[in-house]
Amino acid sequence: MSGLDLTAGASIPPNAQERACSLLVLADGRLSMIQNIPPHSPPRIGRSCYGWNVAFENVPQAPGDLSMHFYPGGYVGVMTFSTGESNVSGIVFTDGPPPRPWSDAFKAAQERQPSLRRLLRDARPVGEWHGVGPLPFTTRMRPDQGAFLAGDAAAVGDPFMGEGIGRALGAGPLLYECFRNAQNRSLEQIRQNYRQRWTNLYSARLRLGWVLRETLRRPILAARATGFLLQNDWSIRALLPLFHRGFSSPPI
């Protein structure tokens, strides 16, 4: 694409080959090559977020059930599959290095979250512990440098918002609609239209994720906020649509 230099600031393998194209869609995940292109700034190591996960068995949840457990300093999600295994994954906030081993993050979550401790009292891990980070969360779409960005390449949002895969799936219909209504617009105009539609659909939820994430970073504030919100039926009814709205896309 004219004016797009994907080599600027990026690490290119020695056996890489250069290709020219008139249209580029990047859906290469949270560590997208686009993040290495100025003016995007890499995530700060201080006040960083790290993710971890492991498989458990004997979790007392029905297949398809998902439970979320928030605590000052992070949160944990437990998703049970039809096989009987459950994926236990969490986010931990830290001003220093990531937890080592990753199981330390799980132990800390159990100590701070009684409901998680009760849920997994008779369960046990059956797989290896995995972790990743620091996670490049953002409140808006990354600078695209002329490409069409989709999924986590466009922006990384909080897992508790439940829309990571949804945004990736929604990119196809959204791109299709932008091109179908293009008429005589230039490729740059189509890209700007796609970016605007994407922003209208997701930016408010990304900002909400930032607010909740910043709240969880502060132990006293997090304890008071979660206690107040989760003890009132009206606040729970107001919050659930925000967390489980799924992905939005234009009709085809």
Using one digit for the tens of pLDDT, what is the confidence trace for 129-183?
Answer: 998 888 888 888 888 877 888 888 888 877 665 566 777 788 888 888 888 878 7
Nearest to 160 by CA among 236, 102, 212, 232: 212
CATH at 90: 3.30.9.100
pLDDT tens digit string along 51-94?
Answer: 899 999 999 999 988 888 888 788 898 999 999 999 999 988 88
pLDDT tens digit string along 108-135?
Answer: 999 988 999 999 999 999 989 998 888 8
Highest-confidence segment of 11-25, 39-53, 97-111, 131-145: 97-111
| Cα 130 → chain centroid | 16
Query: What whole-number distance in Å separates Cα of residue 159 and Cα of residue 165?
Result: 10
Do 159 and 137 touch, CB atoms closer than 8 A? no
Q: Tell me whether residue 167 is in a domain.
A: yes
Say yes or no: 106 and 150 in one domain: no
Say yes or no: 38 and 157 in one domain: yes
State which residues form the domain around 85: 48-132
Say yes or no: 81 and 196 in one domain: no
Burial class of 24 by CB neighbour count within 10 A (0 to 12, 13 to 18, 19+): middle
**Which residues on adjacent β-strands are paired with residue 68?**
77
pLDDT at 45 exceeding the cut of 70: no
Residue 63's CB is within 10 A of a number of other CB atoms, namely 12
Say yes or no: 179 and 105 in one domain: no
Percent of the chain with pLDDT over 70: 70
| Cα 241 → chain centroid | 18
Say yes or no: 207 and 88 in one domain: no
pTM for this entry: 0.65
At 241 the pLDDT is 60
pLDDT at 221 exceeding the cut of 80: no
Q: Last residue of some domain: 132, 154, 182?
A: 132
Number of compact structural domains in the chain:
2
Tokens 């056996």: give the residue: 15
Binned at pLDDT 50, 70 and 90, residue 107 comes out as very high
Q: Last residue of some domain: 63, 98, 132?
A: 132
At 61 the pLDDT is 93
| Distant-in-sequence contacts of 178-186, Cβ < 8 A, 24+ apart | none
Query: What whole-number distance in Å separates Cα of residue 131 and Cα of residue 219?
Result: 23
Burial class of 252 by CB neighbour count within 10 A (0 to 12, 13 to 18, 19+): exposed
Q: Last residue of some domain: 132, 164, 187?
A: 132
| Cα 35 → chain centroid | 15
More confident residue, 84 or 250: 84
Percent of the chain with pLDDT over 90: 18
Q: Is the peptide bond before 101 cis (omega within 30 degrees of 0)?
A: yes
Q: Tell me whether residue 80 is in a domain.
A: yes
Which token pair is 62? 């029905």
At 145 the pLDDT is 77
Say yes or no: 75 and 113 in one domain: yes
Give CA angle at 19 (16, 21), nearest 5°: 150
Say yes or no: 127 and 146 in one domain: no
